[in-house]
Structures are given as C-alpha cells and as structure tokens.
Amino acid sequence: MVFTTPSEIERESMRLIGTELAARGICVPEARRAVVLRVIHTTADFDYAENLRFTQGSIRLPHGGMIVTDTNMALSGINRTALSRLGMDACCFMAEDEVAREAKARGTTRAVVSMDRAAALYPGAVFAVGNAPTALLRLAERIEEGLRPALVIGVPVGFVNVTESKERALAVCERYGVPAIIALGRKGGSNVAAAICNALLYEAGGR
C-alpha cells in the first residue's frame, strides 16, 4: 500500500514505531506515549523511549499560556494552529539585540539573559530548551530562587555541560515539584524540543 497524504504517512509511521517498540520489549506508559512516539517520529531514534524522564504532572499544558524556547529553530517548529486552539502563544528572546547587549555587559551567554527575560515576563510559562545547557542551568537556578514554570522541557544536545545541566534540572524540578520532561544524556536538539511541545499540544487539543 502506498501512503500519499501527510496524515496517512504520519499514522503509518506511528503504527510502525509502536510495532518496533513492542518488538524491542519496550512498554511506554499510555500517559507518556504521545510524547515518546512523536520524538521517535522526529528523530528515528528509539533511545528516546528510555532516556526521556517525566516528573509528576509533566504531560499537561496550561490553556492560554506561553511557550518560551531557547532557539528560533525550536520556535519555528511549534505548530501554530495547535497553539491557537489552546489560546497559547510562543516566543524566543535569543536573537534580540537587547539580549545580546546585556549578555556582553554581564559577561554571560544570551541563553542566560533570555531565560531571565522570559522569567520576568512569563514566570508561569512552558520553558522549552533544546540547544543551550546554560539556559537550562539558569532555569534550575531561578527555580531554586522561586520561579515556578508550568513545565520545563530540557533536551539540549551536545557535549559540554549538557548531561550535567539535564541531571541538575531534573533534580531541581523534582525537589520543587515543577513538572518537567528531560532527555538524559547527550541527545536532544531544537527539533526534539518542538516535537515534545507539539505532542502535548495535539493531545491537549484532542488531535
């Protein structure tokens, strides 16, 4: 059978992913299945079935809330139609000139400054970090200082400070009861952050 429409291709892809997970003996809890399958669908990497960690309450989005990303790439990957169905919006501060100037003045990264700016404007937002471990580390610090995001998605990719930032963010979110989805290890990326956001948006919107 030839699958030609996007919806047909997606449904068949999800079916094949489910079949392969079963063949590998991996049972994903139903409450987490949409996120895990969509990340695998985005990456073709079955490791995410085992390295994604979920804290209590981490699979729900706040209706009418904001999603803050650490890259414009992640921002562009979030489905705008799904956002509007929930009365939500998304933004990224990383490319703003003021953020670059402040980062230079403070001797820090734009990722840190962008998280501080987002925390001031949208303290109850969903924070989706797919690239910068310094953004995730700063979020952990702000949570220790009293910030309470609706959800932290921590999936930066790379080799420097990456695994440490994820482990710390997970520990801090668990300690303070902040919902979080974290991909332990080196793997991740802006595409993964967007995929997790979309999975949650589709579930919340009844897709």
Percent of the chain exceeding pLDDT 90 equals 87
Check residue 152 and give its pLDDT: 97
Check residue 2 and give its pLDDT: 61
Look over the chain and give the mean of its residue pLDDT values, rounded to a whole number.
94
Query: What residue spans define the domains of the chain?
Result: 50-204
Check residue 60 and give its pLDDT: 78
CA triple 139-178-161, angle to 5 deg: 35
Collapsing DSSP states into helix, strand and coil, what is residue 64? coil
Check residue 63 and give its pLDDT: 83
Check residue 57 and give its pLDDT: 72
Nearest to 112 by CA among 64, 65, 168, 70: 70
**pLDDT for 166 beyond 70:** yes
**What's the pLDDT tens digit per position in 22-77?**
999 999 999 899 999 999 999 999 999 999 999 987 677 888 899 999 999 999 99
Domain at 50-204, CATH homologous superfamily = Cobalamin biosynthesis CobH/CbiC, precorrin-8X methylmutase (3.40.50.10230)
Query: CA 78, CA 97: separation in Å to the nearest integer?
Result: 23
Check residue 1 and give its pLDDT: 64
Check residue 150 and give its pLDDT: 95
**44 in the Ramachandran plot: left (φ > 0), alpha (ψ -120 to 50) or beta?**
left
Mean pLDDT is lowest, of 41-45, 61-65, 99-103, 138-142, for 61-65
Instruction: At 119, list the tokens.
Output: 């925390």
**pLDDT for 172 beyond 80:** yes
CA triple 93-97-100, angle to 5 deg: 80
E-strand ranges in the chain read 52-54, 66-69, 89-92, 126-129, 151-154, 180-183
**pLDDT for 137 beyond 80:** yes
Check residue 17 and give its pLDDT: 95
Residue 153 corresponds to which amino acid?
Answer: I
* Biggest distance spanned by C-alpha atoms of the chain: 60
Mean pLDDT is lowest, of 43-47, 59-63, 81-85, 184-188, for 59-63
Exactly one of 13, 32, 41, 185 is catalytic; name it: 41
Chain center to CA of 34: 13
**pLDDT for 3 beyond 70:** no
| pTM confidence score | 0.94
Nearest to 92 by CA among 126, 110, 111, 68: 68
* Residue 41 appears among annotated catalytic residues: yes
Beta bridge partner(s), residue 54: 181
- What contacts 134, CB < 8 A, 6 or more positions away? 108, 109, 111, 112, 161, 165
